[in-house]
Amino acid sequence: MLSSLLSRCSHWLPANRSVLAIIGLLGLLLVSISPEALAHAVAQGDKGYIQEITGIHLLSFMYLGAKHMVTGYDHLLFLLGVIFFLYRMQHIALYVSLFAVGHSSTMLLGVYFDIGINSYLIDAIIGLSVVYKALDNLGAYQRWFGFQPDTRAATLIFGLFHGFGLSTKIIEYDISPDGLLPNLLAFNVGVEIGQLLALSAILILMGYWRRHASFWRHAYTANVSMMSAGFILIGYQLTGFFVA
């Protein structure tokens, strides 16, 4: 029995390195970073930089925006869930655009009009977005409730929450009003550049995995893993909310 199990694992692993690389890396980030980082925080060095500078710094804010998205494990998990069963580029572009519109709108408006939400609660909702999308991919809503929620509307709505997650943190850093709007726009451009870079890497790995028959055999396991990561995010944030 053990030899049979080892044989099955030896056939499964090579064909699934792509999805394991995505979920494994994001899982490693979850267990290796501090609880403060799990509150959607900007890095400490970036925090000091944001607080000290005044005036227009377009390239700097573009870099910060791209860095945030590329290292934003919660954003990447949600994007992975969104594109998991999308094959046509026009469909991928539609859903990623909806997420970008939602994310950009609340990030810009939240900071500009000083609309903040408790960072732990908003990040718990972001974790919930990962759980929601994984369950959607598993067909849970059709089995449980007999209907399929509008995935486009859900992507846009959760994009709004993802944007509030970042705007809430930026507000806490008292960014200078001098050059605020150009800097925020540059930051948002950087976020979209980072999103495209991260999405390109995910699509390359997913494209490799989809060429193997194991994709359909293990898609269920992959989405359960994403759902579990989402629950871990929720647990961290709610713990932080009640403890802090």
DSSP 177: S
- Report how far apart the first and last C-alpha atoms of the chain are (Å, whole number): 49
What pLDDT sits at residue 155? 96
The owner of tokens 């954003």 is 75
Residue 118 resides in a domain = yes
73-100 confidence digits (pLDDT tens):
889 999 999 999 999 999 999 999 999 9
At residue 231, the 3 state secondary structure works out as helix
What pLDDT sits at residue 115? 86
The chain-wide mean pLDDT, for the chain, equals 83
Contacts (Cβ under 8 Å, ≥6 apart) of 36? none
Residue 180 resides in a domain = yes
Q: Which residue has the higher pLDDT, 39 or 142?
A: 142
Q: Which residue has the higher pLDDT, 177 or 34?
A: 177
Residue 205 resides in a domain = yes
Q: 89-92, long-range: CB within 8 Å, 24+ apart, which pairs?
A: 92/199, 92/203
Contacts (Cβ under 8 Å, ≥6 apart) of 138? 220, 223, 224, 227
At residue 38 the predicted structure's pLDDT band, cuts being 50, 70 and 90, is: very low
Q: Which residue has the higher pLDDT, 3 or 228?
A: 228
Helix, strand, coil share (%) of the chain residues, nearest 5: 80, 0, 20
Residue 106 resides in a domain = yes
Residue 101 resides in a domain = yes
168-215 confidence digits (pLDDT tens):
878 877 788 898 999 999 999 999 999 999 999 999 999 999 998 889
**Cβ(95)–Cβ(82) under 8 Å?**
yes
At residue 53 the predicted structure's pLDDT band, cuts being 50, 70 and 90, is: confident
Kindly state the tokens that stand for 179. Answer: 């050059």
Lowest mean pLDDT among 23-32, 37-46, 108-117, 184-193: 23-32
Q: What angle do the packed helices 17-32 and 180-210 form, to 10 degrees?
A: 140
Residue 121 resides in a domain = yes
What pLDDT sits at residue 170? 82
The owner of tokens 């060095």 is 45
Structural domain boundaries enclosing 208? 95-244
What pLDDT sits at residue 6? 32
Kindly state the tokens that stand for 219. Answer: 């898609």
**Phi and psi at residue 198, in whole multiples of 5°?**
-65, -40
Mean pLDDT of 11-38: 47
Residue 45 resides in a domain = no
CA distance 202 to 84: 10
CA distance 89 to 154: 19
At residue 43 the predicted structure's pLDDT band, cuts being 50, 70 and 90, is: low
99-155 confidence digits (pLDDT tens):
999 999 999 999 989 887 898 999 999 999 999 999 999 999 999 999 999 999 999
Q: How many domains does the chain have?
A: 1
What pLDDT sits at residue 110? 93
What pLDDT sits at residue 24? 52
What pLDDT sits at residue 188? 93
Residue 87 resides in a domain = no
Q: Which residue has the higher pLDDT, 5 or 145?
A: 145
